Structure 1
Amino acid sequence: MSEMPFTAVVTGASSGIGRDIALRMLDRGWRVIGLSWQPHDIVHADFVPVAVDLLDEAATTRVAQDLSGRYAVSHVVHCAGLIWPNLLEDVKPEEIDGLTRLHVTSPMILSQAFVPKMRDAGFGRIVFISSRAAMGVASRTAYSATKAAVHGMARTWAHELGPHGITVNVVAPGPILTDNFWGIIPKDSERQQKIADQLPVRRLGTVEDVTRAVMFFADEAAGYVTGQVLFVCGGSSLGGLSL
Structure 2
Amino acid sequence: MKQHILVTGGSSGIGKAIIERLSAEGFHTLNLDRQAPAAPSANEHHIPVDLLDTDALKQLLAQLAQEYEILRVVNNAGMVKPDLLESTTIDDVRTVAKLNIEAPILITQQFLPAMRAKKFGRIVNISSRAALGKERRTAYAASKAGLLGMTRTWALELAHSGITVNAIGPGPIATELFTSVNPAGSPQTERILKTIPVQRLGEPSEVAHAVQFFLDNRAGFITGQVLYVCGGMTVGLGTAA
Tell me which interval the TM-score lies in, with the shorter structure as reference length.
Answer: over 0.9
2:11 is aligned to 14
2:30 is aligned to 33
Query: Structure 2: how far apart are the matches of 1:88 and 1:45?
Result: 43
Query: Structure 1: how far apart are the matches of 2:38 and 2:220?
Result: 32
Query: Structure 2: how far apart are the matches of 1:44 and 1:121?
Result: 28
Q: Which moved more, 1:60-69 or 1:137-146?
A: 60-69
Query: Structure 2: how far apart are the matches of 1:169 and 1:135?
Result: 17
TM alignment of 1:187-198, pairs within 5 A: 187-198=184-195
The alignment yields a C-alpha RMSD, in angstroms, of 1.5
> What does the per-residue CA deviation read over 1:33-90, in whole Å, with 9 as the maximum and x for residues that have no partner?
0010112234456221111111221121111111111111011001111111000010
Please report the TM-score for the alignment, with normalisation by the length of structure 2.
0.94
1:60 is aligned to 57
Matched, 1:136 2:133: yes
Query: Structure 2: how far apart are the matches of 1:135 and 1:196?
Result: 19
Cα gap change, 1:187 to 1:80, in 2 (>3 Å)? farther
> What does the per-residue CA deviation read over 1:110-155, in whole Å, with 9 as the maximum and x for residues that have no partner?
1111111011111110001100000000000000000000000011
TM alignment of 1:139-178, pairs within 5 A: 139-178=136-175
Q: Does the 8 A contact of 1:6 with 1:75 survive in 2?
A: no
Q: Does the 8 A contact of 2:20 with 2:41 survive in 1?
A: no
Q: CA offset at residue 239 of structure 1? A: 2.8
> What does the per-residue CA deviation read over 1:203-234, in whole Å, with 9 as the maximum and x for residues that have no partner?
11110111111111010000000000111101
Please report the TM-score for the alignment, with normalisation by the length of structure 1.
0.94
Identical residues among aligned pairs (%): 42
Q: Secondary structure, in 3 states, of the residue corresponding to 2:217?
A: coil
1:90 is aligned to 87
- In structure 2, runs of 5+ residues without a counterpart are none
Q: Secondary structure, in 3 states, of the residue corresponding to 2:7?
A: strand
Matched, 1:110 2:107: yes
Query: Structure 2: how far apart are the matches of 1:35 and 1:225?
Result: 26
Q: Does the 8 A contact of 2:23 with 2:42 survive in 1?
A: no
2:98 is aligned to 101
Query: Structure 2: how far apart are the matches of 1:225 and 1:125?
Result: 10
Q: Does the 8 A contact of 2:21 with 2:205 survive in 1?
A: no
Q: Does the 8 A contact of 2:14 with 2:207 survive in 1?
A: yes
1:219 is aligned to 216
Query: Structure 1: how far apart are the matches of 2:174 and 2:42?
Result: 29
Query: Structure 2: how far apart are the matches of 1:223 and 1:91?
Result: 40
Q: Which moved more, 1:147-156 or 1:6-15?
A: 6-15
Q: Does the 8 A contact of 1:13 with 1:40 survive in 2?
A: yes
Cα gap change, 1:140 to 1:60, in 2 (>3 Å)? same
Q: CA offset at residue 187 of structure 1? A: 4.6
Which letter does structure 2 place at the counterpart of 1:81? G
